[in-house]
A and B are shown apart, each in its own frame.
Chain A
Amino acid sequence: MAPFPLPLEALLTKGGAYLVYLLIGFSFGYALEISGFAISTKLAGQFYFKDMTVLKVMFTAIVVAMVLIFGATALGLLDFNLIWVNPTYLWPGIVGGLIMGVGFIVGGFCPGTSLVSLATFKIDGLFFALGSLFGIFVFGETVDLFYEWWNDSYFGRLTLMDVFDLPSGVVVVLVVLMALFMFWGAEKLEHIFGKKDLTKEPKWRYAAAGVLLAGALAVLLIGQPTTADKWARLEPTKEAALQNREVQVSPAELLATTTDTQVNLVMLDVRDEADYNLFHIRGARHLPLSQLAAAIPQLLLEPAANTVYVLMSNDETAATEAWKVMTAESVPNLYILEGGINNWLSTFAVNEPEIQATPTPAGQDRLVYTFPAALGDRYDAADPSPHEYELEYTPKIKLQTKRGPSGGGCG
């Protein structure tokens, strides 16, 4: 399994993890200061084409980090599914962005740079930061007025790869090319509007651009690991959990878990639509195997700390297949319904005469019960009362302390 990102809190306790974040923040502030981002006039110069420092620093940082991130994921060092990718809320993002732009040119900073500015005793930075606190306060007090709109136009963990339907290597190369083109344009503008002498710019920037582009091409050539690659890497450790039946939860445990308020239980029914319509457990989402891969980004956005997934098919075959795919894609806390829906029905449909066991099961992973009608979850067995059954079971579900992203860059 890709060893990074690290499970910081598990490794270092909370205090240690916060120290790491403090050091990261320290380096962040240091990097902003050495770039001149404490000076409002320098930042504002960007918008009069005189001093394109903002664009150069920002886009260099973005493309350098991007090439390193996707290089690390290509080499199997970093698990892309465990890093925070800002979820897309399109319209609040665009409108909020436009408002930020207005604030930027009026105030001369963004929140991060104003902190560095006040840290170096600039009084305009201090006033901007105070204004920031006020603006944040006003937002907190008014967000209720447009709460619905603010949570609307939600696209989940959407990446540029999804939007353009391109592999990440291609997107990485295109973004690097776009950045290099923008740098070229920015220098031309500085020459025209800022009267800058371009011959004095350092020559090493050409070499740096070459290294960057070479890195992006390497990312493209190596390619990102597929689900099968990821499973192959995990198989030695995870296959044992399947064989030792550590992840197969009994119907009784699943029923008990449905009433556990501490757990965000997500039941995924991976059978075909006909079987799902005939009968399914109440609350189970229908997600056939063929659509599983596409749904992974959404599943990764469930709150990692207390979400438990239980996968089910008629017996265990398809559910186990789904378990492997989701395990490979780093979805946490995954379990399989032991014996599948057939076993669930043999436990909870005993008092429902219209649900009949068929004498000859039609093959593997087939429903061995017949139903008078496709009533879905309207059978009693779809939602048995936990109080009516006193069943013994060995508990298998245990929530792991989860590593990975705990929230947004500005959560």
Chain B
Amino acid sequence: MATAVNAKPKPVNKLKGFLFSRPEKPYVNPYLGGVVLGIVLFMAIFLTGNGLGASGGLNRYVVFLENIIAPEHIDRVAYLLKMAGGEKNPLDDWIVFVTTGAILGGFVSGWIHGRLKVETNRGPRISVKTRWVLAFTGGAIMSFGARMARGCTSGQALSGGATLSAGSWAVMFAIFAGAYALAYFVRKEWN
């Protein structure tokens, strides 16, 4: 860090210092994290009547882009029409703000606790590039499933779990079942 003392630091270095220089803190106990998350979920439902969600917000970002690129295409698909038909702006929806807020909240917590770090997390036996390909593939599969189930881990398992929706509990157990069923076959990716 001796070089940083010389003359004025470049703006880029200043930004890097701001982002990455905080001491790294350990994660909280999972039960404590769960209590915090549970209170956030309760407050969401108590104040607004709506739960939490992530894939719904992403969905609307995708439709927003589609609407810019191919607006006439939107008009042919009933599913898309509901979100972006006519004068409707697909981003004009509460879920978009929850999703966007989650990105901001994650960033601020990562920054405060010194956990902002450019890295690729993976098992010791696969390359970084393989991990990227698998992450993209998994993301595509997961979100396809999330739209089919009308909600992801947040919108169905968490929110529907807490309000005791029967369908959401079925979705939750199906998620765990699907992941455990396949875990053995992709063990090389993680172990």
Contacts and interface: CB of A to CB of B under 8 A. Distances in A.
Interface of A: 4-6, 8, 17-36, 38-42, 44-48, 52-53, 56-66, 68-69, 72, 77-78, 82-90, 92-125, 127-141, 143-144, 147, 150, 155, 157-163, 168, 171-172, 175, 183, 202, 205, 208, 403-411
A340 B3 CA distance: 88
Given A22-B101, A48-B191, A150-B148, A105 B50 contact: no
6 contacts: A34-B33, A40-B121, A47-B183, A98-B174, A106-B186, A116-B106
Contacts of B141: 99-100, 102-103, 106-107, 131, 135
Contacts of A125: 135
Contact of A64 (B34, B44, B93): B34
Given A33-B110, A35-B30, A110 B166 contact: no
A94 B31 contact: no
A28 B44 CA distance: 9
Contacts of A159: 163-166
Tell me the dominant secondary structure on chain A's binding face.
Answer: helix
Q: Which residue among A96, A99, A403 has the maximum number of chain B CB atoms within 10 Å of its CB?
A: A96
Q: Which residue among B45, B63, B78, B156 has the maximum number of chain A CB atoms within 10 Å of its CB?
A: B45
Given A29-B102, A87-B167, A134-B139, A408 B53 contact: yes
B33 A57 contact: yes
Interface in B160-191: 160-183, 186-187, 189-191
A69 B162 contact: yes
Contact of A84 (B51, B110, B121): B51
Interface string B50-68: 1111111011011100100
A407 B50 contact: yes
A186 to B, nearest CB: 9
B166 A162 contact: yes
A131 B137 contact: yes
Contacts of A118: 103
Contact of A26 (B102, B162, B167): B102
A88 B42 CA distance: 21
A407 B50 CA distance: 7
Given A47-B179, A133-B58, A93 B170 contact: yes
B34 A120 contact: no
A170 to B, nearest CB: 11
Interface in B46-90: 46-56, 58-59, 61-63, 66, 77-80
Interface residues of B, number: 125
B134 A132 contact: no
Contact of A29 (B109, B168, B174): B109
Contact of B135 (A6, A38, A128, A135): A128
A107 B144 CA distance: 13
B155 A410 contact: yes
A2 to B, nearest CB: 11
B105 A27 contact: yes
B14 interface: no
B139 A109 contact: yes
A410 B139 contact: no
Given A136-B55, A136-B62, 4 more contacts: A29-B101, A86-B151, A105-B183, A121-B119
Given A93-B174, A127-B139, A133-B61, A8 B47 contact: yes
Contacts of A58: 34, 153, 157-158, 161
Nearest to B131: A124
Contacts of A18: 94, 97
B105 A155 contact: no
A217 to B, nearest CB: 17
Interface string B17-52: 000000000011111011111111111111111111
Given A33-B115, A123-B120, A61 B102 contact: no
Contacts of B131: 124
A219 to B, nearest CB: 12
Interface in B99-153: 99-110, 113, 115-123, 128, 131-153
Given A99-B144, A409-B151, A72 B139 contact: no
B56 A410 contact: yes
B120 A124 contact: yes
B11 to A, nearest CB: 19
A397 to B, nearest CB: 24
Contacts of A94: 170-171, 174
Contacts of A96: 145-150, 171, 174
Contact of A35 (B27, B120, B137, B182): B27
Nearest to A94: B174
B156 A409 contact: yes
Given A6-B48, A63-B38, A111 B54 contact: yes
Contacts of B99: 25, 115
A408 B139 CA distance: 21
Nearest to B115: A120
Contacts of B33: 31, 34-36, 53, 57, 60
B155 A408 contact: yes
Given A136-B59, A140-B80, A406-B50, A101 B165 contact: no
A404 B102 contact: no
Contacts of B48: 5-6, 8, 17, 20-21, 24
A168 B145 CA distance: 30
Contacts of B53: 112, 408-411
B55 to A, nearest CB: 4
